[in-house]
Amino acid sequence: MAASLWRKTDWREIIIGTYDFSRNQKLQLSTVTLTISQILTTNEMSSSFESATPHNKSVAIIGAGLVGCLTALSLSKRSGYSVTLFELRPDPRLESTSKSSKNLRSINLAVSDRGLNALRRVDPGLESRILEKVIPMTGRMIHKLSGEEESQKYALDGKKGINSIDRGYLNELLLEELDISEKKVEVKFGYKLEKVQEDGKISFTNTNTKQQEQFQFDLVIGADGSFSKVRSELQKFIRLDYSQQYIDCAYLELSIPALDNNGFSLDKNHLHIWPRDDFMLIALPNLDGSFTSTFFAPWGLFESKELSNDEGILKFFRYNFPDAVELIGEESLLYAFAHHPRGKLLSLKCNQYNYKDKILIIGDAAHSMVPFYGQGMNCGFEDVFVLTELLDKHRDDLSLAFEEYSQTRVHDLSAIVDLAISNYKEMSHKVNSKLFLLKTKIDFLLTKSLGDRWLPLYTMVSFRADIGYAKAVQISKRQDIILNWIQAGIVGLVGGLGLWNVLGRWARK
C-alpha cells in the first residue's frame, strides 16, 4: 500500500515522497516549490473537486419493478440524493393486490453472476438474503420425445449454476428493503406518468384520486419497462435511435404442482426443457416444490385449429409432451389455455440513454430482450452496477457519468439483445443435435486444458461479470472458428473410418 508523505521545510517548499508500507521502502522523493498563489489555487481546486458530490439532488425514479427498486436502493445509499419512486400499479404486497392482480405472463427469473454482482455492490447483505430464497440450477435437463432425460451441465465442474427465483417474491423483497433502508425512499403507488419536461418538472395522474399532480425533480430516471413513457418523453429532447421487433413466438404460463409435503416431481436443480424444434416447454423450480412452466410456440400454432378446442389441445400435448401432461394435469392444462393470457415477446434497442444530467433510462426501458438467455433482469441489475461505478468515477458529476454511460453501455446492450434471440434456436432445436453436443464437449475439453484462456460463451455471459457482453461475443466468434475446424476434422475422421470399414468388408466378400 502506498501513501504520500509531506514534510514542510518552510512556507515555500514541500517535500513529497511516496512510501510503500508493505515493503517498508521509500519509492521516490521529489521536491516541489510552490508560491503562495499556487497553494491557494491548489486549495481552491481541492474544494471544487470535493463539491462535485451533489448536495440534496432530488431524484424521481419511474417504475418500481426490479431495476427501479435496485436503482432507488443504490442512490439512496449515496450522499446527497433524495429519492422518490413512482409506480403505476398498486402495491403488490397488499393482500387485495396479490389475489386480484397475479401476473400470469411472468416467466421465472434465473439470477446469475451479473445480477448477484450488482446486488453485492449495492448491499452485500441484500445478496445474501436473496440467495437464501433461490434454487440453484446447475444445468439443463432435456426431455426427449421418447421419454429419455439428458442432463447438460452449464459448467465444466458441474457445480456452477444459475438460480431460480420467483419474480413477484423478488420484487416484494426489494420493496421491503426500501422501507427499512437507513435513508428511506418514498414510494408512491398508483401514479401514472403523463409528461416529463426538460427542466425536471413531471406530471402524473393519481389513479386513486383521479387528480393531476405535478412534481419538480433535479433528475428523472426511467425504469418503466418495454413500453416506457419516459423513453417516449426523452425522444422529444434528443435524437434517440430506436428499434423494436416482435419475434414470432408467444408464450403461455402453466404450472406443475408440488407433491405431498412440498416435494418436487422433477429434479429441482435443473432447468427442464422439452425441445421440439419449432416450439418448446420449459419448467423452473419454486421453493414450495412446484414448477413454473411455460409453453413457447409461434403465433400461428397458438391460433391454429389444432389448438382451438380442448380435444385438439390434449391431443397435441399428449403426443409432444406426454410426461409433462401427467405432471401438469389435463384439467389444469385446459384451464390455462382457456383463461391465461398469451404473452408477446419483444426485442428492443435504443441509443442514447440520457438527456444531459436531467433524464436517464435503464433496464427494459433501454433494452428489452426475449427471455431465452436468462439475462433480462441480470442485465438490468448490471445497468445499476455500471451506473454506480461511473458515479464513483466522476464523483457524482451526473453529466459526465451519464454521457459515458450512453457512449459505452450501448455495445454490451446491443450484444445481449441479439444473443437472447439467437439462444431460442439453441434451446428449442440445437440441444437435440448430436453435432451441437459434440461441439459443446470440445468446448468443455478446451476449457479444461486451457483454463481462462478458453471460455465457452455461456460461461462468459452467465458466470463472468468481469467480461462485457460485447467482449464475450467477440471472443466467442474467434473460438467458434477453431471449434468448427476441430469438429469438421472429427466428423471427417469418423466418416472416413466408417467408409474404410465398409470398403474393407466389401473387399473381403
| Same-domain check for residues 40 and 177 | no
Residue numbers of the domain that contains 459: 433-508
Mean pLDDT of 296-311: 96
At residue 491, does pLDDT exceed 60? yes
Q: Within a domain: residue 112?
A: yes
Q: What percent of the chain has pLDDT over 90?
A: 68
Q: Where does the pLDDT of residue 277 fall: very low under 50, low under 70, confident under 90, or very high at 90 and above?
A: confident
Q: Within a domain: residue 36?
A: yes
At residue 445, does pLDDT exceed 90? no
Residue 33 phi, psi (nearest 5): -105, 125
Mean pLDDT of 352-372: 96
Q: Within a domain: residue 492?
A: yes
Distance between first and last Cα of the chain? 80
Model confidence, pTM: 0.84
CA distances from 351 to 62, 234, 243, 360, 366 (A): 19, 11, 9, 11, 8
In the β-sheet with 2-10, what is the strand arrangement from edge to edge? 2-10, 13-20, 25-33
Q: Within a domain: residue 427?
A: no
Q: Within a domain: residue 267?
A: yes
- Which tops the pLDDT comparison, 187 or 25? 187
| Same-domain check for residues 116 and 137 | yes
CA–CA separation, 395 and 389 (whole Å)? 10
Do 111 and 128 form a contact (C-beta atoms < 8 A)? Answer: no
Do 295 and 342 form a contact (C-beta atoms < 8 A)? Answer: no
Q: Where does the pLDDT of residue 384 fall: very low under 50, low under 70, confident under 90, or very high at 90 and above?
A: very high
| Same-domain check for residues 393 and 444 | no
Q: Where does the pLDDT of residue 470 fall: very low under 50, low under 70, confident under 90, or very high at 90 and above?
A: very high
Instruction: Give residue-wise pLDDT tens across range 141-200.
Output: 999 999 999 998 988 777 889 999 999 899 999 999 999 887 889 999 999 999 999 999
Mean pLDDT of 470-480: 94
At residue 483, does pLDDT exceed 70? yes
| Same-domain check for residues 7 and 119 | no
**Looking at residue 431, what is its pLDDT?**
64
| Same-domain check for residues 196 and 308 | yes
pLDDT averaged over every residue in the chain: 85
| Same-domain check for residues 464 and 482 | yes
Residue 213 phi, psi (nearest 5): -135, 145
| Same-domain check for residues 35 and 61 | no
CA–CA separation, 137 and 5 (whole Å)? 52
For the chain, what is the domain count? 3
Three-class DSSP category at 183: coil
Q: What percent of the chain has pLDDT over 70?
A: 83
**Looking at residue 50, what is its pLDDT?**
41
| Same-domain check for residues 196 and 341 | yes
At residue 36, does pLDDT exceed 80? no
**Looking at residue 47, what is its pLDDT?**
39
Q: Which of residues 370, 388, 422 is at a domain's end?
A: 422
| Same-domain check for residues 141 and 172 | yes
Q: Within a domain: residue 258?
A: yes
**Least confident span in 384-398, 437-451, 487-501:** 487-501
**Looking at residue 465, what is its pLDDT?**
96
Do 289 and 264 form a contact (C-beta atoms < 8 A)? Answer: yes
Q: Within a domain: residue 428?
A: no
Mean pLDDT of 421-426: 81
| Same-domain check for residues 300 and 390 | yes
At residue 3, does pLDDT exceed 50? no
Instruction: Give residue-wise pLDDT tens across range 335-352.
Output: 999 999 999 999 999 999
Mean pLDDT of 417-441: 78
Instruction: Give residue-wise pLDDT tens across range 38-83.
Output: 433 444 444 333 444 556 899 999 999 999 999 999 999 999 999 9
**Looking at residue 28, what is its pLDDT?**
39
CA–CA separation, 461 and 375 (whole Å)? 8
**Least confident span in 63-67, 106-110, 424-428:** 424-428
- Residue from 7, 14, 6 nearest 36 by CA: 14
**Looking at residue 120, what is its pLDDT?**
96
Q: Within a domain: residue 235?
A: yes
- Residue from 104, 102, 107, 75 nearest 90 by CA: 102
| Same-domain check for residues 83 and 37 | no
Three-class DSSP category at 349: strand
Q: Where does the pLDDT of residue 20 fall: very low under 50, low under 70, confident under 90, or very high at 90 and above?
A: very low
Helices (H), 267-309: 299-302
At residue 386, does pLDDT exceed 90? yes
CA–CA separation, 141 and 151 (whole Å)? 5
**Least confident span in 81-90, 157-166, 317-326, 458-467:** 157-166
**Least confident span in 87-101, 261-275, 288-302, 303-317:** 87-101
CATH code for the domain in which residue 229 is found: 3.50.50.60
- According to the per-residue pLDDT averaged within each range, which of 147-156, 377-386, 436-445, 496-505 is highest? 377-386
| Same-domain check for residues 288 and 329 | yes
At residue 113, does pLDDT exceed 70? yes
CA–CA separation, 66 and 173 (whole Å)? 10
